Structure 1
Amino acid sequence: MIRLSEAEITLRELGISDPSEIDLEAIAWTLNARVKYRPLDGCEARIIGHGDQAIITVNSRSIPRRQRFSLAHELGHWRYHRGRLLVCRSDDIGRAGNGQSSAERDADRYAADILMPRYLFQPLAKDHKKFNFQTIRSLADLFDTSLTATAIRAVEGEISPSLLVCHGMQGRKWFVRSPNVPEKWFPKNELDSDSFAFDVLFGNAVDDASPRKIDADSWFDRYDASRYEIREQTIRTAENEILTLILIDDDQMLNESVTSYSRSRR
């Protein structure tokens, strides 16, 4: 049974039972927040509150799905950080990893819960026989969310034992893992030249049509990684950025003792 977050409880109280019913402006209105769309320079959204009333301004120059996540993110600030003037830059919203402040992580978590509530998301995700970027795209279209935000939600929702890793030209930017993947499986900072992802980012390779088998030591710098195979699927999300979905099918990788020696953890 899924334990509902505050955002999900709000949706349940509003009677929302289908992704198409998630009207963010209407939800904001019930929370005493008015929404405006204006061109913004240097930020994706901002919120100004006074008492129990707030005005949220969203960058009208951004694509619609980006606007939706930004609005949901600001609703998270309204719930958790009242009394503060917050201006959210592009890099502050929807950025996974340790570089985020606790306030931004709280707001992102709220946004994910309001846009992709688990009581709707997980049953729909599990209806798909395979877990790959095709499934993630289907869910993104259903919930009207970005591919990256949807992928993070799916990986963290234990749909399948997996990691999602983002790389740029300078190395790994961030990653998330499923709760059922032990922390010892920590991806390398730099892309291995043997990985399929390397050819997508630095070569002329196109996006992977489906996950492909590869030795685990192409992704994990552990003495025992060479024993295993994983599946890897990589897509390009920007000119100099890729996302890789790493799928772990071997139960031994998931059940092994976490005390084994690791050569490197960066």
Structure 2
Amino acid sequence: MIRQSPAEGILRSLGVTAPSDIDLEAIAFDMGVFRIKYRELDGCEARIVGMGKNAIITVDPRSPPRRQRFSIAHELGHWHHHHGKVLFCQSKDLRQCPGALGSEQTANRFASNLLLPGYLLNPLARTFPKLTIRAVKSVAETFDASMTATAIRLVETGHVPSMLVCHGPLGRRWFVRSPGVPERWFPCDTLDPEGYAIEVKNGKDQNMPRKIGADAWFDLRGADDFEVEEESFRTANGEILTILNLIADDMLEEREHSYRR
């Protein structure tokens, strides 16, 4: 039996059976957050202040609408898991990525499960033979979620052996792999100068996945024996997110490995 997350438990208890039913204000009210305010904040993107069983969430309206939704869901995560604390969430805390730590990681996980619950996401994820930007956009529209949060959740479903890798100006920032992808496939710190992702970094759009040697992404002996499908896009804050589909069954086999020298 698959264990459901606290966020999914809340959604099921409210009778949420479709993505359009995920009404954050109604969910917040049910959780004891009787008001969501929108006003400019200094030094943070959102905050929650509670007393007893009731709380107020404040969100900065200058953020994009889908980021505001994630911010609300994030604060609800704090309310569920960190009751009684006053928390001010800065931009770095709301990265919608696996890089957050401690209480922020817990709140981010709650937000992802609330906005993209597995029991609604998984049936849709199974309809895609591979993970593409088009698929991510379609699911993001359906759930009114950000591209980053959606891409992460789709990789995590494991229906397609894949990875999502984020690069910033200083190199790789984080990555997430599907459950069935062996740990030996650990992406390089920097983008391959001859890869397709570097084109996106330089301002060129990518409109379809393209095959590339796996050694462009993995500094692993024998990686040049395989190909992966690569597709990248630029986020609003300038990071490069790359979807990697592992198309060779042999890449999913567990085996001893060594890195190139």
Pairwise same-fold verdict (TM > 0.5): yes
1:199, CA displacement in angstroms? 1.9
- Structure 1's unaligned 5+ residue stretches are none
TM-score, normalised via structure 2 length? 0.95
Say whether the 8 Å CA contact 1:2–1:119 is kept in structure 2: no
The residue type equivalent to 1:127 in the other structure is T
In structure 2, stretches of 5+ residues that fail to align are none
**CA-CA distance at 1:95 after TM superposition:** 4.0
**Contact persistence 2:155–2:164 (CA under 8 A):** yes
**Please, what is the CA RMSD of the aligned residues?**
1.5
Q: Which residue of 1 aligns with 2:56?
A: 55
- In the other structure, the counterpart of 1:193 is 193
Compute the displacement of 1:230 (Å): 0.6
The 3-state SS of whatever aligns with 1:103 is helix
Q: Quick one: percent identity of the two aligned structures?
A: 52
Output aligned runs, 1:4-153, within 5 Å: 4-33=4-33, 34-98=35-99, 100-153=100-153
Q: Quote the residue 1:216 is aligned against.
A: 214
Distance in 2 separating the partners of 1:112 and 1:185: 25
CA displacement at 1:221 relative to structure 2:
0.4
Deviation track 1:2-50 (CA, whole Å, cap 9, x = no partner) reads 4311110111111110000100000000000121111112211001111
Is residue 46–residue 57 contact of structure 2 (8 Å, CA) maintained in 1? yes
Q: Tell me which of 235, 250, 262 is aligned to 2:259.
A: 262
Instruction: Determine helix, strand or coil for the equivalent of 1:155.
Output: helix
Tell me the amino acid that sits aligned with residue 75 of structure 1. Answer: L
Question: Contact between 1:166 and 1:242, CA under 8 Å: does it hold in 2?
Answer: yes
Contact 2:96 2:149 in 1 (8 A): no
Mapped contact 1:232–1:244 kept (Cα < 8 A): yes
Q: What is the CA–CA distance in structure 1 between the aligned matches of 2:127 and 2:163, rounded to whole Å?
A: 20
Retained in 2: the 8 A contact 1:40–1:61? no
The one-letter code matched in structure 1 to 2:234 is: R
Equivalent AA in structure 2 for residue 261 of structure 1: S
Q: Tell me the TM-score normalized by structure 1.
A: 0.93
State how many pairs are aligned.
260
Which secondary structure does the structure 1 equivalent of 2:235 belong to? Answer: strand
